[in-house]
Amino acid sequence: MFERIREILRRSREAGQAYPPQLALLLRNPLRRLILSPAELVRRLDLQPGDRVLELGPGPGFFSVDIARALPQGGLVLVDLQPAMLAKAQARLTRAGLDNVSYQAADARALPLDDGCIDVALLVAVLGEVPEPEVALKELFRVIRPGGRVNLTEQPGDPDFIPRKVITRMAESAGFRPGRQWGRGRNYSAEFLRP
C-alpha cells in the first residue's frame, strides 16, 4: 500500500501536477493535528468575524471548517486547481452546515478575484506545488486589500517544502512586508503584510 502511495506521488511530481485527489484521505488524516491543528492555524490567522478569507489550495478542506466557523459575518473563498479537491472540501463544509463559503476552480497564477477583495489569505504546504510561485505571490498581492495579510505555512513531509528564507525573499519580491512568524525548521508559518 505504501509503495503504491509513493508511486502515485512520484508520478504526480514528475508530471508537475498538484497533490493527487485520489490521496485526499491522507490530507484528512487526524494525525496532521499533531503538526498543526485547524484550531491553532485559526489562532495564528487572528481572524475578525467579518473577514473575507482566501484559502488557496485547500485540498479536501482539512482546515476549512474551522476557518469558516471563525467568520460568522464574513466568508471563506476556496480556490483550488483541481475541481475534484474542491468537491471534497465542499462536501465536508456542507456536512458541517456551513454556507459562508464559495468555491472556485482556478490556477494560483490567475485568481478569479477582484483587486483588494481579500482580508486574509493562506496557503498550507501549497506554494511549492505552484509552477511559478513568484507569479502566484504577485496575484495574492493583487487580491489582498492594503493592510491585509497572507499566511504561508510549510510542513514537514511536504516534498515541495520551501525554506523560510526562500519564502521570505519571494514574498518581499512580490511587495509584501514580513510580519509574525511561528514554528521552526520544517514546520513554520510566516505572515506577510500588504502595505
CATH number of the domain within which 156 lies: 3.40.50.150
**CA distances, 12 to each of 17, 77, 129, 131 (Å):** 5, 26, 10, 13
**Nearest CA-CA partner of 132 in 81, 92, 65:** 81
Domain range for 160 is 2-193
Q: By three-state DSSP, how is residue 150 classified?
A: strand
- Where would I find the beta strands (DSSP E) of the chain? 52-56, 75-80, 101-105, 118-124, 144-154, 177-184, 187-193
Report whether pLDDT(136) > 70: yes
Q: Stretch 184-191: mean pLDDT, rounded?
A: 95
Residue 151: phi and psi, rounded to 5, are -110, 120
Global model pTM greater than 0.85: yes
Number of domains into which the chain is organized: 1
| Mean pLDDT along residues 33-46 | 88
pLDDT of residue 5: 54
What integer is the mean pLDDT of 23-33? 56
Distance CA(5)–CA(111), nearest Å, equals: 30
